[in-house]
Structure 1
Amino acid sequence: MTGSEDWSFSSTADEVVKAFQDRVGGRTFLITGASTQSIGEATAIALASSPKPPSILILAGRSQEKVLPVVEKVLAISREVTVIFVPLDLSSQASVEAAAERIISDSRVRKIDVLINNAGIMACPYIPSEWNEKDNAPLEQQLAVNYIGTFLFTSLLATKILEASPGARIINLSSSGHRFGGIRWDDLGFQGGRVYDAWDAYGQSKTAIILFTIALAAKYKNLGITTFAVHPGAVMTALGRYMQPEGRAAVIDRLKTISNFETLQQKSAQQGCATTLRAALDPELEEYSGSYMSDCQVAEQADHAKGVENAQKLWKLTEQILRKSF
């Protein structure tokens, strides 16, 4: 088996899957955001291409039109895999609850070995979400999709994930962009959009995902579920649909102001999902549950994205927003 020091920026998904094929074969994987031209698509195809393919791949996404081509690609690779499409709009509580119920009630899905929360949006214009802060001001859409909806979806599926423990994993897609901003504890919604900054909002949402990962690790520490927040790297996908060329230049300039920033190097989708797959499959990582990963290695996140106390504070705040306890 490949040693942990051998995984790096240039590692590919196929290399990871081949190395840990015994952790792929016969298992059930759920991937959100598995649409065309996405890291989710690359993740699904890599898993299906394993010498020992999964038993079930559940591909969740907002657009059936964009996910079904991925389903067809997976089936063309391996007819051994049962592929299930689930409609999921993370900006809608009704959609999230319906998607979770659909999975829970599907007799084919006895357990979920690995949940990969891949879906997300980036740097979109201000859009108010259906969720509100305690003062009834609306939360903005990046926090809603990248974090609130993901929190709810994961929590609703906890029983199915626990069925696969010990050995189950939850992988949350974060980003080095979490360094753009921490949690605005007293103003999550940017004053109802009046002081909205797309990159500050993106940073807040990706910081929230890291803190969510820390909270999950603490919650399931003795229950056999391991969890990681991963930064895939700079990958050209449909995620960047809101960015014009000048916007890309602006974000690179902004990244240069952040400590520990190195020259932004482009990755292929295969390289981008390698970190996700190592986090999902490598047994050597179990002791690092709750960690942030980048370039296939455990890495250091920004100070504002650390601490069990912050993680639990955000968990409680999220329960208040959803008016549910988990």
Structure 2
Amino acid sequence: VPGKRFFNGPVFKDFVDLKGKVAIVTGANSGIGLETTARLAEMGAKVVMACRDTEKAAAALKDIKKRGDHLDLEIISLDLGDLASVKQFTNEFTAKHKSLHILVNNAGVMRTPLWRTNQGAEIQMGVNHFGHFYLTNLLVPALSNAEGNSRVVNVSSIAHERARSLGIDDIHWEKRSYDTAEAYCRSKLANVLFSNEFNRRTNKYGIYSNSLHPGVIRTDLARYMLDSMGFVKRTALKAAYPLLWYVTKDAYHGAQTSIFCAASPSLDGVGGNYYADCKPKRMNPLALDEDLSEVLWDLSEQFVDQKFTYKE
């Protein structure tokens, strides 16, 4: 279709030899997580599919194996909305694998009702940020064991640019009425802030972290969006589906920047950046606020009830 290629964005066509490398992809059972998993496995990596629904993950694994039975995949259960599950996942992973070369923090929820995680966080900040904060920090020993540099890839969104603040004074939405769109934007801003701060703290160990916007994707991430809209907006959105198909990406094209950040040799030893369409992009100025990122780090440590000290 004329012009569709523009909206699909570039494809990362390089074949990078990842043989002997271990990767984790959260939310690997569908959408861009599945496509990222498949491509990293095709390049030779052993990929651990970190998924809440292990039945769906098993079906996804079977689907990926159709691309090559030799692909090395493993499923370990992970519920990012439960810190005990995150801890259990890292215990299980480190019992089997000494090193981790690539961590793709891909899983996310979007525009949900006001639900809470097992520990009481607002679900979008809880899953999108706090769960990944805890997971990533618990995996630092494995990341630092990797031969050469290791990478953390944080899937954020262009929505982070719309966040007017992080809402630190009411991070769990306990005082004010819930705005699901604003909560999503804040959680995506937290992804970029965390990515930048984590990179500052760990790059001296050869661990480099970047964040990205995958593009506007047609996946089931937005399944709650229609429910949160009024009748008029919902009807208008349904009527616009043909146009939305034209200007949005499918999962294959949406995964390209994740794959680029995870595998491109040009990013070896590079961190603290934000990418879209496989190119560096400008981030929300709030994401560059080091004081804010330190406040978020401290608040996140309090929430997970564990301190992670890397600064000398």
Would the aligned equivalents of 1:34 and 1:60 in 2 still touch at CA under 8 Å?
Answer: yes
> Following TM superposition, by how much is the alpha carbon of 1:302 offset from its aligned partner in structure 2, in angstroms?
1.1
Aligned position for 1:256: none
> How far, CA to CA, are the matches of 1:221 and 1:280 in structure 2?
16
Q: How does 1:1-326 map to 2 (within 5 A)?
A: 10-12=9-11, 16=12, 18-22=13-17, 24-36=18-30, 38-50=31-43, 53-54=44-45, 56-106=46-96, 109-131=97-119, 138-181=120-163, 182-191=165-174, 194-244=176-226, 247=229, 265-286=247-268, 288-326=270-308
In structure 2, distance between residues paired with 1:183 and 1:314: 9
Q: Which residue type is aligned with residue 36 of structure 2?
A: T
Deviation of the 1:247 alpha carbon: 4.1
From the superposition, tell whether residues 123 and 8 of structure 1 become closer, same or farther in structure 2 (CA, over 3 Å): closer
Note closer, same or farther for the CA distance 1:315–1:246 as it changes in structure 2 (3 Å cut): closer
Q: Percent identity?
A: 29
The letter of the residue matching 1:122 is: M
Q: Whole-Å Cα distance in 2 between the matches of residues 83 and 9 of structure 1?
A: 28
Query: Structure 1 unaligned runs (5+)?
Result: 1-6, 132-137, 254-263
Q: CA deviation at 1:35?
A: 1.5
CA-atom RMSD, angstroms?
Answer: 2.4
**Larger CA deviation: 238-247 vs 173-182:** 238-247
CA distance in 1, matches of 2:122, 2:279: 32
Q: What residue identity is the alignment partner of 1:275?
A: T
Q: How many residues align?
A: 291
Q: Write the distance in 1 (CA, Å) between the matches of 2:301 and 2:129.
A: 12
User: 1:222-260, CA deviations, whole angstroms, 9 ceiling, x for partnerless residues?
Assistant: 111111111101111110110229949969x9xxxxxxx
C-alpha separation between the residues in 1 aligned to 2:61 and 2:148?
A: 29
Aligned-residue offset at 1:290:
1.1
Contact kept, 8 Å, 2:8 with 2:248, in 1: the verdict is no
Indicate the residue corresponding to 2:243 in structure 1. Answer: none
For residue 85 of structure 1, give the secondary structure of its aligned residue in structure 2: strand
Deviation (angstroms), 1:272: 0.6
Q: TM-score, normalised by structure 2?
A: 0.86
Counterpart residue identity of residue 39, structure 1: I
Amino acid corresponding to residue 210 of structure 1 in structure 2:
V
SS at match of 2:117: strand
Unpaired stretches in structure 2, ≥5 consecutive residues: 1-5, 237-245
- Tell whether the 8 Å contact from 1:165 to 1:225 is kept in structure 2 after alignment: no
Give the aligned partner of residue 134 of structure 1.
none
Distance 1:242 1:41 in 2: 20
Counterpart residue identity of residue 172, structure 2 = G
Deviations 1:90-135 (A, max 9, x none): 00011111111110111xx23111000100000000013333xxxx
- Provide the C-alpha distance between the structure 2 equivalents of 1:273 and 1:301, rounded to a whole number of angstroms: 19
Q: Offset at 1:174?
A: 0.3
Partners of 1:211 and 1:246 lie apart in 2 by 27
Matched residue SS, 1:290: coil
How far does the alpha carbon of each residue in 1:288-310 deviate from its partner, in whole angstroms, 9 at most, with x for none? 41111111111111112222222
Q: Which residue of 2 aligns with 1:260?
A: none
Q: Is the 8 A contact 1:8 1:296 kept in 2?
A: no
